[in-house]
Amino acid sequence: MNTSEQEPTISELFDLSGKVALVTGASGCLGRAFATALVEAGATVVIGSRTKERAESAAAQLTDSKGGTHYGVAIDYLDEGSIQSGFEEATRAAGRVDILINNGHERDAHDLTNIEAQDFNRVLANSTGYFLLARHLRDHVVERKAAGNVVMIGSMYGVVGSYPDAYEGVSPASPVSYQALKGGIVQMTRHLAVYWAKDGVRVNCLSPGPFPPDNAPAEMVKRLITKSPMGRMGKPSELKGSLVFLASDASSYVTGQNLLVDGGWTAW
């Protein structure tokens, strides 16, 4: 028997047909690209946003060539009750959840010169929300005796400090609380991956480099470009391949890793 005939093909490995993915923050810039990528790979998508209306509106904007139905639920990472009710609603609406993309987060513009303790703690609470939602996914798939997959969205700023001269006088774009949040998410990924591997739940982190939105200060973007080995900023669509890789069987032997998609930012 030729065993190679039984090996999955590349298109089978990346195929998410029949899977349900919950993506938070998909009303935002990168989350929209993540949700689009998952639909294009064949998944049914449930979008989480702080308001159900925004989530449903983002889900309605997804273009699905196969005519699939996608859903929206309210999930606020800073509200434990909303995390539970949002996850339950997602499983009710779509029948189940197999993949979780922990992407949305509440921003805070204070930097290290002026942040107060309560604002710092509020930013860190986003990672509590990431954990609680991931644990709902883990418990749900274990109960179903199914496999689960969690992708945390980190940042290059969970791995390296920022260049002060890129922001000085222009923008508090890289607050100290954000650095603490994202570094913690990268490490939490490793911890959960180890504990949940035997439950059939993989946990990885996808860390974007610089993907400034269209309304980012032009001077800041100009300075950031000088810090990039590739000499340019990323486009949201350049995260789609890595996201589907981590969310699919294409990465079936990968867990606890942090995949940086940063144009080489952290390589020098």
Ligand X SMILES: NC(=O)c1ccc[n+]([C@@H]2O[C@H](COP(=O)([O-])OP(=O)(O)OC[C@H]3O[C@@H](n4cnc5c(N)ncnc54)[C@H](OP(=O)(O)O)[C@@H]3O)[C@@H](O)[C@H]2O)c1
Q: Which of residues 129-158 bind ligand X (CB under 6 A)?
A: 153, 155
Q: Which is nearer to ligand X, 142 or 266 (CB)?
A: 266
Q: Which of residues 62-121 bind ligand X (CB under 6 A)?
A: 75-78, 103-106
Shortest distance, CB of residue 42 to ligand X, whole angstroms? Answer: 23
The single-letter code of the amino acid at 214 is D
Using CB under 6 A, which of 19, 27, 73, 204 touches ligand X?
Answer: 27
Q: Which is nearer to ligand X, 50 or 138 (CB)?
A: 50
42 sits near ligand X (criterion: CB under 6 A): no
**φ, ψ (nearest 5 deg) of residue 193:** -60, -40
Shortest distance, CB of residue 7 to ligand X, whole angstroms? Answer: 34
Tell me the residue nearest to ligand X as measured from the CB.
28
30 sits near ligand X (criterion: CB under 6 A): yes
Residue 208 to residues 1, 115, 189, 202: CA-CA distances in angstroms?
44, 24, 15, 19
Shortest distance, CB of residue 110 to ligand X, whole angstroms? Answer: 16
54 sits near ligand X (criterion: CB under 6 A): yes
211 sits near ligand X (criterion: CB under 6 A): yes
Q: Which is nearer to ligand X, 43 or 181 (CB)?
A: 181
Shortest distance, CB of residue 218 to ligand X, whole angstroms? Answer: 15
Shortest distance, CB of residue 178 to ligand X, whole angstroms? Answer: 7
Residues that bind ligand X (CB under 6 A): 24-25, 27-31, 49-50, 54, 75-78, 103-106, 153, 155, 208, 210-212
